[in-house]
C-alpha cells in the first residue's frame, strides 16, 4: 500500500506524500494538512483488517483514547475517520527516531540519559493514568525521541480505561511479550502498575542493551515474565549505579503491590537519582541473585500450552512458599503490606504481629495529588518472612512547602527556613534604590507555597544599599572629553544632539543628571552636544500682506523688522514690497529679516 497511496487525499484535507513507517496493523505516512498548512502523520489501517469490526473498533479506540491526552510527552492525535474502505488517524508529525532504533544503532545508553528518558515516559503515563487510561504496550518502538531530545509516547492502540472498559476480553493477552507485565501475560485485569513494569523493562534495555527475557517462542517469553527473576543489570554491566538498578528492579517486581504504586512515584525516584539524592527503591544485595530455573516445555501454539505453563508456575511458587514456612522450625511472620497506612497504624500492625517498627525515612512529596503522612514504601517488602522481634523499615510521605520570607531581614528569613527544615540556602546581594529594602529579602526561589524537600536549594536575594557618587561637570567640554571623564568616574553615557547658536559645535550644552548631583554608581548620564547654529533658508514673503509675512517668517524660526514705504498704487498698500536678505539665502535660526511694507501717502 506504498506507491498507490501516495498523493491520495483523505477528507479533502490530508494529502499523503511519503511512507515513513509500517506496523502490524497499519502503515504511517507523512502528509500535508491542506487546511492548516502543516505536516502531519497519517496512520492508515491495513486493508486486510478494514473488514474486521474488532480491528476497526480497536483502531477507533486508539484515536478516541489518545485524542483526549494533551501532554508535551504524548504524541497529539488531531483527527480520525474513514475514506471508502480505508480507516485512518491523523497525528502530530514528530521528527526524530524511535527508542528501539537508537538502542540498536548506538547500544547502551548512559545511565543519566536512560533515567531522563524513563522519567519523561513516567510523566506521560502519569497524565494518562490520571485520565483513567492504561497504555498496556509500552516498548521502545512506541517511544519517540525528537531531534530536540524531547521524549514522546505514542500508539495507544491497545490502551484501555483503568476500570476495565475497552475492547479487549478477559483472558486475551495483548501487548509485546518482551515488555508486558506478569499479570498482563496471564490475561488478568491490569492497572497503571502494569505500565510501570513495562517502563522497568524498557529502562533495563536502555542500560544493558538487551531485554531481560527473550526467546523465539512468545509463550516462553510470557512464561519467563511470570516465573523468572531478571538478571540484575549490574551483572551485565558493573558500571550501572546501584540506585538506578534498584529503581529498575522495583519497577519489575512480579507482585504489582511491590512496584512503584504510581508513575509519579517512579518519576520522583528517577529525579532523585539524577540529583544524586537517596532513592526509595531498595538496592539489590550482591550475591543474593539465584540463577533462574529453565522453563518447562511449553506447547508453542494454542491456549492449552499457556494454561499448562501458568499452572506449573503457580505450583512452583506455592512450593517455594511452603518450603520457607516450614524450614528451620522457628516461628516466622509474614510482613504485612503497610503502604497507605499512617506511621502510627503501621507501628500498631507490626507490634500486633510481634514485629518492630525500624527506621522511618521521610519522603517529601513533589505533587499535590500525592497523599501525605502515609507509608509509601517498606523494607523488607510485604510477604517476606521474618522472625518475631525483627524490624521493618518504612518510608513515610511528608509535605514541605516553601514559606514566604520576602520582606524579612536576612537573619529572620534564614531562621524561618531552618525551622521549616530547609538545609540548602544561597544568599545573593542585589542593589536597591529603596532604602527600606536594604537588608531585606526582595525575592526568593522557589516561590512561596511550592512543594520542596529539605535538600531543595533555596535562593534568597537580599537588598543592598547602592553606592552613590557625584556626577562630574562636563558642560562646555567636547563630546569625547565629556565621555572620557564620565566613563572614568564609572558612569554610562548617552549622547543627544541639539543646535545652538550660543555653544560651539561639538561642545556639551548641558547634562542630566546635573553636575555634582549624587546618583547610584554606574548610572547613565545624558549629555546634549551642540551641532552649531541651526541654519534656515529665508522664505520669499514678497507680495504677501504684512501679517502673512510675519507668520511665514516666525514659522521658519526667523525674526523680522518692518520698514514702511509710501506707495502711489493703492494695491501695494499693506503688502511686502521687498526683503533683506533675499529669498533662498541661508541664515542662522532667529536671524532678523527686514521687510519693506507699502503704505498710502
Query: Could you read off the pLDDT of 102-124 as tens digits, one per residue?
Result: 999 999 999 999 999 999 999 99
Residues 127 and 275 in one domain: yes
Q: Does 311 reside within a domain?
A: no
Mean pLDDT on 561-572: 94
Of 116 and 370, the structure prediction assigns the larger pLDDT to 116
Cα–Cα distance, 41 to 154 (Å, whole number): 12
Q: Are 345 and 300 in contact (CB under 8 A)?
A: no
Q: For residue 426, what pLDDT is reported?
A: 93
Of 138 and 168, the structure prediction assigns the larger pLDDT to 138
Q: Does 328 reside within a domain?
A: no
Mean pLDDT on 310-315: 34
Q: Does 320 reside within a domain?
A: no
Backbone angles phi, psi at 361, to 5 degrees: -105, 140
Cell of 63: 484515536
- Which domain-ending residue is among 503, 530, 557? 530
> 581: closest CA among 591, 564, 593?
593
Q: Does 262 reside within a domain?
A: yes
Q: For residue 173, what pLDDT is reported?
A: 46
Cα–Cα distance, 475 to 507 (Å, whole number): 8
Cα–Cα distance, 229 to 246 (Å, whole number): 14
Residues 114 and 210 in one domain: yes
Domains: count for the chain: 6
Residues 266 and 201 in one domain: yes
> Does position 323 have pLDDT exceeding 60, yes or no?
no
In this structure, how many other beta carbons lie within 10 angstroms of the beta carbon of residue 15?
16
Of 44 and 68, the structure prediction assigns the larger pLDDT to 44
Cell of 276: 544524586
Residues 81 and 20 in one domain: yes
Cell of 537: 533658508
The domain that holds 105 is classified in CATH as 1.10.510.10
Q: Does 48 reside within a domain?
A: yes
pLDDT band at 381; cut points 50, 70, 90: confident
Residues 541 and 560 in one domain: yes
Pairing between strand 143-146 and 492-498? unpaired
Cα–Cα distance, 59 to 127 (Å, whole number): 21
**pLDDT tens-digit map of 490-536:** 999 999 999 888 899 999 999 999 999 988 888 999 999 999 888 89
HSE toward the beta carbon, residue 298, CA cutoff 13 A: 26
Q: For residue 331, what pLDDT is reported?
A: 59
**pLDDT tens-digit map of 143-162:** 999 999 999 998 875 444 44
> Does position 19 have pLDDT exceeding 50, yes or no?
yes
Residues 133 and 273 in one domain: yes
pTM of this structure: 0.49
The domain that holds 61 is classified in CATH as 3.30.200.20
Residues 496 and 539 in one domain: no
pLDDT band at 168; cut points 50, 70, 90: very low
Mean pLDDT on 62-69: 73
Residues 345 and 235 in one domain: no
Residues 548 and 564 in one domain: yes
Backbone angles phi, psi at 26, to 5 degrees: -150, 160
Binning the chain into helix, strand and coil, the percentages to the nearest 5 are 30, 30, 40
Q: Does 512 reside within a domain?
A: yes
Backbone angles phi, psi at 470, to 5 degrees: -80, 140
Mean pLDDT on 381-393: 87
> Does position 291 have pLDDT exceeding 80, yes or no?
no
**Helix-helix angle 263-274:111-130, to 10 degrees:** 160
Residues 353 and 380 in one domain: yes
Mean pLDDT on 547-553: 96
The domain that holds 379 is classified in CATH as 3.30.10.20
Q: In a 3-state reduction of DSSP, which class is residue 389?
A: coil
Residues 432 and 479 in one domain: no
Cα–Cα distance, 363 to 271 (Å, whole number): 13
Mean pLDDT on 263-275: 95
Q: Are 41 and 20 in contact (CB under 8 A)?
A: yes
Q: Does 583 reside within a domain?
A: yes
**DSSP 8-class letter at 573:** B
- Which domain-ending residue is among 283, 301, 320? 283
Q: For residue 284, what pLDDT is reported?
A: 65
Mean pLDDT on 251-260: 95
Q: For residue 311, what pLDDT is reported?
A: 32
> 519: closest CA among 489, 478, 482?
489
Domain enclosing residue 454, as ranges: 410-466
Q: Does 299 reside within a domain?
A: no
The reply to whether 379 belongs to the active site is no
Residues 62 and 164 in one domain: no
> Does position 386 have pLDDT exceeding 60, yes or no?
yes
In Å, how far are 273, 401, 464 from 404, measured between CA atoms? 29, 9, 20
Q: Are 587 and 549 in contact (CB under 8 A)?
A: no
**Burial tier of 417 (Cβ tally within 10 Å: 0-12, 13-18, 19+):** buried
Catalytic residue among 33, 52, 98, 137: 137
- Which domain-ending residue is among 504, 530, 556? 530
Q: In a 3-state reduction of DSSP, which class is residue 418?
A: helix
Q: Are 576 and 546 in contact (CB under 8 A)?
A: yes
Those residues with Cβ within 8 angstroms of residue 125's Cβ, 6 or more apart along the chain or in another chain: 135, 138, 153, 192, 195, 196, 199, 263
In this structure, how many other beta carbons lie within 10 angstroms of the beta carbon of residue 531?
13
Measured at the CA of 58, the angle between CA 57 and CA 60, to 5 degrees, comes to: 65
**Burial tier of 303 (Cβ tally within 10 Å: 0-12, 13-18, 19+):** exposed
End-to-end CA distance of the chain: 109
Q: For residue 288, what pLDDT is reported?
A: 39
Amino acid at each position: 500500500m506504498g506507491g498507490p497511496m501516495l498523493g491520495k487525499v483523505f477528507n479533502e484535507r490530508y494529502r499523503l506524500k511519503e511512507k515513513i513507517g509500517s506496523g502490524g496493523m497499519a502503515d504511517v505516512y507523512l502528509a500535508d494538512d491542506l487546511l492548516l498548512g502543516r505536516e502531519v502523520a497519517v496512520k492508515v489501517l491495513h486493508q486486510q483488517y478494514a473488514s474486521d469490526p474488532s480491528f476497526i473498533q480497536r483502531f477507533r479506540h486508539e484515536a478516541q483514547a489518545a485524542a483526549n491526552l494533551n501532554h508535551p510527552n504524548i504524541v497529539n492525535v488531531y483527527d480520525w475517520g474513514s475514506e471508502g474502505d480505508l480507516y485512518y488517524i491523523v497525528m502530530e508529525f514528530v521528527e526524530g527516531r524511535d527508542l528501539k532504533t537508537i538502542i540498536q544503532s548506538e547500544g547502551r545508553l548512559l545511565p543519566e540519559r536512560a533515567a531522563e528518558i524513563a522519567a519523561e515516559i513516567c510523566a506521560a503515563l502519569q497524565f494518562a493514568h490520571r485520565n483513567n487510561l492504561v497504555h498496556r504496550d509500552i516498548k521502545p518502538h512506541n517511544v519517540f525521541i525528537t531531534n530536540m531530545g524531547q521524549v514522546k509516547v505514542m500508539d495507544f492502540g491497545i490502551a484501555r480505561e483503568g476500570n476495565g472498559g475497552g475492547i479487549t476480553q478477559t483472558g486475551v493477552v495483548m501487548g509485546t511479550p518482551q515488555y508486558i507485565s506478569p499479570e498482563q501475560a496471564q490475561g488478568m485485569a491490569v492497572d497503571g502498575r502494569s505500565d510501570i513494569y513495562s517502563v522497568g523493562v524498557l529502562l533495563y534495555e536502555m542500560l544493558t542493551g538487551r531485554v531481560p527475557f527473550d526467546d523465539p517462542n512468545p509463550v516462553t517469553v510470557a512464561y519467563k515474565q511470570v516465573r523468572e527473576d531478571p538478571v540484575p543489570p549490574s551483572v551485565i554491566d558493573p558500571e550501572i549505579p546501584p540506585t538506578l538498578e534498584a529503581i529498575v528492579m522495583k519497577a519489575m517486581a512480579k507482585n504489582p503491590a511491590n512496584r512503584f504504586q504510581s508513575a509519579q512515584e517512579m518519576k520522583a525516584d528517577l529525579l532523585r537519582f539524577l540529583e544524586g539524592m537517596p532513592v526509595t527503591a531498595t538496592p539489590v544485595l550482591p550475591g543474593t541473585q539465584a540463577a533462574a530455573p529453565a522453563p518447562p516445555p511449553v506447547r508453542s501454539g494454542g491456549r492449552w500450552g499457556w494454561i499448562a505453563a501458568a499452572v506449573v508456575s503457580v505450583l512452583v511458587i506455592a512450593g517455594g512458599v511452603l518450603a520457607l514456612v516450614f524450614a528451620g522450625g522457628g516461628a516466622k511472620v509474614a510482613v504485612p503490606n503497610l503502604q497507605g497506612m499512617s506511621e502510627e497504624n503501621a507501628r500498631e500492625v507490626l507490634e500486633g504481629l510481634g514485629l518492630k517498627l525500624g527506621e522511618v525515612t521521610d519522603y517529601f512529596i513533589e505533587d499535590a495529588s500525592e497523599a501525605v503522612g502515609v507509608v509509601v514504601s517498606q523494607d523488607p517488602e510485604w510477604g517476606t518472612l521474618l522472625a518475631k522481634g525483627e524490624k521493618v523499615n518504612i518510608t513515610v510521605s511528608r509535605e514541605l512547602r516553601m514559606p514566604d520570607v520576602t520582606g524579612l531581614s536576612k537573619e529572620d528569613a534564614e531562621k524561618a527556613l531552618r525551622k521549616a527544615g530547609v538545609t540548602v540556602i544561597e544568599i545573593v546581594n542585589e542593589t536597591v534604590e529603596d532604602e527600606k529594602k536594604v537588608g531585606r529579602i526582595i525575592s526568593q526561589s522557589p516561590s512561596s507555597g511550592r512543594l520542596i524537600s529539605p535538600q531543595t536549594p533555596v535562593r534568597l536575594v537580599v537588598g543592598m544599599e547602592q553606592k552613590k557618587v557625584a556626577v562630574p561637570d562636563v558642560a562646555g567640554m567636547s563630546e569625547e572629553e565629556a565621555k572620557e571623564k564620565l566613563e572614568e568616574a564609572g558612569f554610562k553615557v548617552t549622547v543627544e544632539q541639539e543646535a545652538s547658536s550660543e555653544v560651539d559645535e561639538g561642545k556639551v550644552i548641558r547634562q542630566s543628571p546635573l553636575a555634582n548631583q549624587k546618583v547610584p554608581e554606574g548610572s547613565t548620564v545624558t549629555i546634549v552636544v551642540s551641532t552649531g547654529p541651526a541654519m534656515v533658508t529665508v522664505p520669499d514673503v514678497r507680495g504677501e500682506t504684512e501679517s502673512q509675512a510675519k507668520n511665514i517668517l516666525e514659522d521658519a524660526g526667523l525674526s523680522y523688522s518692518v520698514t514702511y514705504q509710501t506707495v502711489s498704487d493703492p494695491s501695494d498698500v499693506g503688502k511686502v514690497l521687498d526683503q533683506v536678505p533675499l529669498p533662498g539665502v541661508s541664515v542662522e535660526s532667529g536671524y532678523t529679516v527686514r521687510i519693506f511694507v507699502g503704505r498710502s501717502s
